[in-house]
Amino acid sequence: MRLVLVGPPGAGKGTQAQYIASNLSIPKISTGDIFRANVSGGTELGKLAKTYMDRGDLVPDEVTIAMVRDRLSEDDAQDGFLLDGFPRNVPQAEILRDMLKDWGQALDLVLELVVDDDEVVRRLAGRRTCSQCGRIWHVEFDDKKDDRCDVCGGALFQRDDDKEETIRHRLEVYQVQTAPLVAYYADEGILVGVDATGPVEEVTERAMEAIRPFTG
Ligand code: ADP
Ligand code: ADP
């Protein structure tokens, strides 16, 4: 199964990606996570990406695509993958299609997580991430009174780009650059919309239901 998740920042892509990938036994490939790992590791890629990420802009396509090409070439991605946060504009989608075609592969399905702007802002403003296991939490919805991960005990942090003015800019970037992917994949006949409101488990159930007809 070769799957892509699209949706605005805060729609719940990362949250759903952990469950969907684990249900389907495929690797979850999140470009945001790979960039953040490079930023904390102080690599050249991380230094370059950070300037764009801090502003809420997209990292240049050639850098992002090279990184994804490397990741998709790894052994664990040969029988399927779930992409979270890539592609994020039409040029990235076209290159992904050509890259997969060269390898005799194609995407099976693109799930669009649908949620309104007010909910997205509420979700992003309260987002916390575990510095140890990477699990995603929400201060209000998960009732996080302490700053520790319930699963591994790691310290939780707030992402630098989850500040109000950066959130606003990321939503604009989504509307202008990423939202056209919805029409692009609808044209390809592989887009399915999933209502991403309500409890996390219910969204996962809706997503798995949408995926079922494609699992063969
Ligand atoms: P969110 O979870 O809020 O949607 P991500 O973790 O996916 O955000 O991405 C964080 C940042 O990483 C983006 O704002 C952007 O700077 C960079 N980034 C992630 N994926 C891509 C991509 N496919 N193309 C360009 N930049 C990206
Ligand atoms: P994205 O990867 O699309 O930017 P995340 O998965 O990081 O989104 O989720 C953003 C925030 O919203 C996180 O704090 C997460 O805990 C919370 N969240 C995700 N799904 C839901 C949901 N169904 N209901 C309430 N909060 C959610």
**pLDDT at position 164, please?**
87
Query: Quick one: 87 exposed, middle or buried, by C-beta within 10 A (0-12, 13-18, 19+)?
Result: buried
pLDDT one-digit tens code per residue, 140-165: 999 888 899 999 999 999 998 999 88
Q: pLDDT at residue 216 above 80?
A: no
- Asked whether residue 123 is assigned to any structural domain, the reply reads no
Q: Do the Cβ atoms of 84 and 29 come closer than 8 Å?
A: yes
- Clarify whether 2 is annotated catalytic: no
**pLDDT at position 165, please?**
87
pLDDT one-digit tens code per residue, 36-75: 999 999 999 999 999 999 999 999 999 999 999 999 999 9
End-to-end CA distance of the chain: 9
- Asked whether residue 151 is assigned to any structural domain, the reply reads no
**pLDDT at position 215, please?**
83
- Asked whether residue 170 is assigned to any structural domain, the reply reads no
Q: Which domain holds residue 43?
A: 2-114+178-214
Q: Which atom of ligand 1 is nearest to the CA of 55?
A: 16
Q: Which atom of ligand 1 is nearest to the CA of 68?
A: 23
- Clarify whether 127 is annotated catalytic: yes
Nearest CA to ligand 2 atom 14: 127
Q: What is the CATH number of the domain that holds 36?
A: 3.40.50.300
**How many structural domains are present in the chain?**
1
- Asked whether residue 38 is assigned to any structural domain, the reply reads yes
**pLDDT at position 140, please?**
93
pLDDT one-digit tens code per residue, 71-130: 999 999 999 999 999 999 999 999 999 999 999 999 999 999 999 999 999 999 999 999
Q: Do the Cβ atoms of 38 and 49 come closer than 8 Å?
A: yes
Query: Quick one: 5 exposed, middle or buried, by C-beta within 10 A (0-12, 13-18, 19+)?
Result: buried
Residue 34 to residues 9, 28, 43, 214, Cα–Cα distance (Å): 16, 11, 11, 28
